[in-house]
Amino acid sequence: MSLFAKNVMKMLNKFFSTRLELNYKQLVKNLNYLKRNLGDKTEIIAVLKANAYGFGDVLLVEKILNQGIKIIAVADFEEGARLRKIGIKNPIIIMYPGVNNLEPIIENNLEPTIYSLTMLKKLINIAKQTNEIIPFHLKFDTGMNRYGFSQFSDLDEVIERIKSQKNIFLKSVFSHFSSSNNIVDTTTTINQINNFKKLKQIFNLNFDHIVNYHISNSFGVLNFPEANFDMVRVGYGIYYGFNNSKSKCIASLKSIVSQTKNIKLGDAVGYDRKFIAKKNMKIGIIPIGYADGLRRSWVNKGLSFYYNGISLPVIGEISMDSCMIDLKEINNIQPGSEVELFGSNRDIFDLCSSLEIIPYELTSCLSKRIRRVIV
């Protein structure tokens, strides 16, 4: 993009009252930080599920691929098809396909994850009706008790059915850590790693072609390097980083003050008169509400916007399209003044801690009304 085009885009972005600013340089730093913690033989699968955790899959996918990433993983068919529609040719793993949408997944050159015997049988039936070889991935449950074949009861039948078919091609076998962020009690993760190593050994004995193996997520990359097999699947580490000097969250959520008001002692603010002014005060109206991802329950948990480093608490009920803040008699705040929910004033981890949520919950629930922009 030319300098002129960048300046035009920057100017246009200012027209959007509420926006999620994404720091491209920080995204590159986060990816490089992950790469430095991996061996040369371990490949990164970039996870862009849930609209890239709310940061914007269409906006970020090419930026991520330009950093040498070759494989993408998403949750479902719709997410994969959206990336195909904008011209992405790279392999895209569908991690949680439904049994009834295997056909469109295959038709769109997407690679399904098979995690049950029902799905495996369906895949084989589809393969029998085509002359093309269908690539796919297998997921085993090694202890999380979520998606995946049972490692112990399903294994023999899974291998037998796959080996008997010529039109399906097993690309990888994977599982998922339940608590790789826990370095105090590592028992569960170590058990999962050991279970997965047994799986790896059995599959290597049964298949002549190269099968890739992956179980590590972002925290697994750092905390359990012995589990960084052929591939790792990372999303958190790309978007949120690890909250240190070299790896940080790429985003800042900003909005503006749409209107200011002076209210008197005893005046109510918002629906149901939940806030009553205890003194004469100045308030601001911010054009972001629960339709944009702010929960009404957060008002009593430290939800604030920031202006030049000053915390301005949200008061009264959050409305569908707006919320109100206490301006604390700051005289230079005017309509159009910029405020920030998280970013340089307050990092996303501190905010989420006070709200008693995790960063995933916050960003993945931000609505499409919020403009995502790369800065």
pLDDT of residue 117: 96
pLDDT of residue 73: 98
pLDDT of residue 28: 98
Residue whose structure tokens are 């990164």: 44
Same fold, 24-239 and 251-374: no
pLDDT of residue 13: 55
CA 147 → CA 115, 178, 245, distances in Å? 6, 12, 35
Handedness of CA 252, 258, 263, 267 (dihedral sign): negative
Q: How many residues does the chain have?
A: 375
- 147 counts as catalytic: no
The ranges assigned to domains in the chain are 24-239, 251-374
Helix axes 117-128, 155-163, angle to 10 degrees: 10
- The strand ranges marked E within the chain are 19-22, 43-47, 71-74, 92-94, 111-114, 134-141, 149-150, 168-174, 212-214, 231-234, 251-256, 259-263, 268-269, 275-276, 281-286, 304-307, 310-315, 323-326, 338-342, 371-374
The residue from 14, 128, 261, 271 that is catalytic is 271
Is it true that domain 251-374 has CATH number 2.60.120.10?
no
- 49 counts as catalytic: yes
**Residue ranges for the chain with pLDDT beneath 70:** 1-15
CB 345 within 8 Å of CB 356: no
Which residues, listed in sequence order, are joined to residue 214 by a DSSP beta bridge? 174
Which tokens in the block code for residue 174? 């994977």
CATH of domain 24-239: 3.20.20.10
The residue from 33, 49, 53, 307 that is catalytic is 49
Q: Please give the Cα distance from 244 to 357 (Å, whole number).
A: 20
In the chain, % of residues over pLDDT 70: 96
